[in-house]
Amino acid sequence: MIELIVNKKNDIKTICLIENGKLVEFYEESEDSIKERNEGNIYSGIVKDIVPGMQAAFVDIGLEKSSFIHVKDLMPQVDEKIEERKDEKINNIVKAGEKILVQVQKDSNDKKGARISTHIKITGKYVILMPNTKIVTISQKIENEKERERLINIIKNNLPENTGAIIRTAGEGKKEQEIIKDLEKLQKQWMQIVEKFKKSNNKPQLIFNSPSIVEKIIIDMSEKKLEKVEVNDIEEYKAIKKLGEENLKIEISEEDLIEKYDLQKQIEKMKQRKIWLNCGGFITIDSTEALVAIDVNSGKYTGKSTLEETIYKVNYEATIEIAKQLRLRDIGGIIVIDYIDMKKQEHKEKIEKLLKEVLKQDRAKTQVEGFTKLNLMEMTRKHICSHNS
């Protein structure tokens, strides 16, 4: 059973996705963090400064700090497997004072302004619409070749000129009419964005607000049989009702839902640096500004067979736990996993295959790069929420 719990207490909103009583995703939001989170938002921006040496520009989108855009995010988006990207000087593409339509790719932090792009993406239930490109691609998690071909043909036959799309995992097995309906809804949204941008004055302004965390979860999980949403705040209840998910059971309660569902222990455990494995080994998770380092240790586990088999068992359990923790903590960016060294190439290949398999449960986009020469596993994961506590 999959349930979504949204608990509001002292202006802090705690969002918990629960599968069969276990916490699988956790987010915390304050009023300030909601204001700071702009990733996915679309703005009318004004180019302020061109920096030729960096092939970049600073753009005012109405936030405290100027946003940063690189030349490649200003040029038309191309499929690099088919077409070679042309090098162009930024001065030939954009001028100071020019109004441009941009989307926030990465939120600002203490040191830098937001990273933005003119490559707009509008996310639906089954499709991500990409205006002003001809790229049509499909989620790697859809592996059946016939199904991939069917979905790509549906999209290509129904896309307007100079519009691309990404077919989401949720589109697998869906009827043609359902896919088209989602696509039409996104096209309508895009036309409204374009119209609003045309009417905007030469002042920075927000054009489109990206969905909230709760909305994203409901949209993404509706196909995975999200059975119930329970909230303890009337405004949140009304907002969820507006989404119009007819088959979703929505309940409102006056209780503290963290206490009601006995989630506090799971939340506290999730925030710890060290996570013990069932076998007696453990993993540690450390975040730096550049990347997240995960270390696997044998701990108390000595095993009953050879040293190599003992190491493999710890690494196997650790892999399953790592995938859970990445999703639970919404860890994003570059992730380096320091497994216990395995001598057998066969074991390395099995661990890499297992990691890819267990990451399929994650809603976020992940990319496993494999073991380096130093026997470190490299991977990336895109945040679901860029300001998760």
Average pLDDT, rounded, for the chain: 91
Residue 112 pLDDT: 85
Say yes or no to pLDDT of 67 above 80.
Answer: yes
Residue 244 pLDDT: 79
Of the listed ranges 45-49, 53-57, 305-309, the least confidently predicted one is 305-309
383 with 27: CB under 8 angstroms? no
Q: Of all residues in the chain, what percent carry a pLDDT higher than 70?
A: 96
CA distances from 202 to 38, 97, 104, 282 (A): 21, 9, 19, 56
330 with 383: CB under 8 angstroms? yes
Taking residues 48-67, report their average pLDDT: 94
Q: DSSP string of 185-234?
A: HHHHHHHHHHHHHHHS-SS-EEEEPPPPHHHHHHHHHGGGTEEEEEES-H
* Residue 207 vs residue 86, higher pLDDT: 207
pLDDT confidence bin for 50, thresholds 50/70/90: very high
**What does the angle CA 146 – CA 141 – CA 190 come to, to the nearest 5 degrees?**
90
Say yes or no to pLDDT of 80 above 70.
Answer: no
Residue 386 pLDDT: 52
Residue 389 pLDDT: 32
pLDDT confidence bin for 8, thresholds 50/70/90: very high
Structure confidence by residue, pLDDT tens digits, 336-387: 999 999 999 999 999 999 999 999 989 888 999 999 999 999 999 998 875 4
Per the DSSP assignment, residues forming a β-bridge with 274 are 284
Taking residues 57-81, report their average pLDDT: 89
Structure confidence by residue, pLDDT tens digits, 169-206: 889 999 999 999 999 999 999 999 999 999 988 899 99
Say yes or no to pLDDT of 299 above 60.
Answer: yes
Taking residues 36-47, report their average pLDDT: 92
Residue 351 pLDDT: 97
Residue 140 pLDDT: 87
Say yes or no to pLDDT of 42 above 70.
Answer: yes
Residue 56 pLDDT: 95
Residue 85 pLDDT: 64
Chain-centroid distance, C-alpha 33: 17
Q: Read off the pTM.
A: 0.84
d(CA 64, CA 267): 33
Q: DSSP string of 25-81?
A: EEEEEEHHHHHH--TT-EEEEEEEEEEGGGTEEEEE-SSSS-EEEEGGGTSPP--TT
